Amino acid sequence: MTPAGLAEVLSAFGPAYLASHELPRGAAKVWRAILACRTATLGGHVESCADCGTSRHVYHSCRNRHCPRCQTRAKETWLAARRREVLPVPYFHLVFTLPHALNGLIGAAPRRLYENLFAAASATLIELAASPRHLGEMPAFSLVLHTWKQDLGRHVHVHALVAGGALSDTGEWISPKKGFLFPVRALSKVFRGKFIAGLDDLCRQGYLPDFLNPLAWQNLKQDLYAHDWVVYAKQPLGGPQAVLDYLGRYTHRVAISNERIVGITHDQVAFRVRADSGGKKRVLRLAGSEFIARFLLHVLPSGFKRIRHYGLLSPARKKVGLAAARSALAVPPPEPAIIESVTAFLHRVARLASMCCPHCGGQFRVATTLLPQRGATARGPP
C-alpha cells in the first residue's frame, strides 16, 4: 500500500473516473486546485540555509476551502476575528440534521436545500429564544454547515453554537431559566415544520427539480412528517477559550483530512473512520472511483457561505449588539491591539519554526522566486 493524501488519490484514480463522469464546473475547479496545491503549478520560491547551504523548494498553497492542506491558517485567521465576539457566558452546541430521505433532492438542488436548512434552523432558534417561556429576547449564535459522515456518505446537518442567554430591549442580559436553552422535542418539531414549509414554497415557485411533481412531493412530505427529526444538544461550554477551541474543530473541517487516508493500492483507497462512540478507529476500503464520487458529494456550490452568524452576531447588529451585551454583562470590550499582537506572535513563532534548518539549525533564506508553471501538472480535469 502506497502512502497518500487526497491529491494523490485524485491523481491515481482521476483519469479512470473522468473517463466516465462529467464534472460540474465547481467540482472541476476544486479538483484542479487540490492537485495544484503546493506544486510548481502555483509557483513559490527556493530557500537556502545560510549556514550549511541546504536548499528546499517551497510552493504556494491553493487556499481552496475544500483542500485539506489549506485549512489551518484559514482557521487561525478566522478564530482571531472571533476573539472579539465571544462573550463570557456558557455556550450551547446544537446540531440540526436533515433526514436521509432528502438526500436525492439535495443532490439535485444543493444550493436551494442548503439555503432552506440555514433559514429553518436560524428561524427555529430565533423563534424559541423570543418566546417568554424561554429567553424572551434576541439570541446570539453561529451556524456551520457539514454534509458528510465518516465514510464520506451524505449526511447534511448544521452545527449551532449559541450563547447562553439573550439581550433584552432594555439592555439587560437574560440568562436561561433552566440548565438548558430549549427543549429538544420543541426544537425538532419547530425545525421540521419550518423546513418543510420552506420546501413547499420552493415547490410552488418551481425552484425544485422536475422529478418532484405534485404527487411525488406529497408522498415525500408524508414520509418527512412520519418520523421525528433529529436535533442534538450537547452540554454547555464554559469560558471564551473553551468556546474558541471547540469552534475551531468545526468551522474549517473538510470532508476528509489527509491524516485519515491510510494509503492506496492499485484499485482501492484505505482511510480511517470512527468505529464507536468511544473514539476507536477502523480502516475502511473503497474503490478509487467510489471514494472520489463520495468526496465530490461535499463540494459546495460556488460562492456558498457555510459559516453564518445570526441575532446579535448578524452583520447588521453585531457592532451595537455586542457592545450592549458586554455592557449588560459588565465586561470591557476586548483590546484590539492585544488580540492582534497575540495572533501576530503565534504566526511569527510558526514561521520561525518552519524557517529552521533540520540539519544544522540555521535559518533558511529566500534565494530564488519560482514563477507559476501552468503546465507543470497535467493531473486535473480539462
At residue 181 the predicted structure's pLDDT band, cuts being 50, 70 and 90, is confident
**Dihedral Cα 296, 251, 167, 232, nearest 10 deg:** 70
Measure the CA–CA gap between 122 and 135, rounded to whole angstroms: 15
Q: Under a CB-based contact definition with an 8 Å cutoff, are residues 376 and 32 in contact?
A: no
- The predicted structure's pLDDT at residue 348: 54
pLDDT tens-digit readout, 195-249:
999 999 999 998 989 888 889 999 999 999 998 898 998 877 776 677 777 777 7
Mean pLDDT across the chain: 88
Sequence letter at residue 176: P
Q: Grid coordinates in use for 151?
A: 465514510
DSSP assignment of 136-190 equals -SB-EEEEEEEEE-TTS-EEEEEEEEEESSEE-TTSPEEPPSSSSSS-HHHHHHH
Measure the CA–CA gap between 140 and 16, rounded to whole angstroms: 48
- Count the residues in the chain: 382
User: What is the pTM assigned to this prediction?
Assistant: 0.89
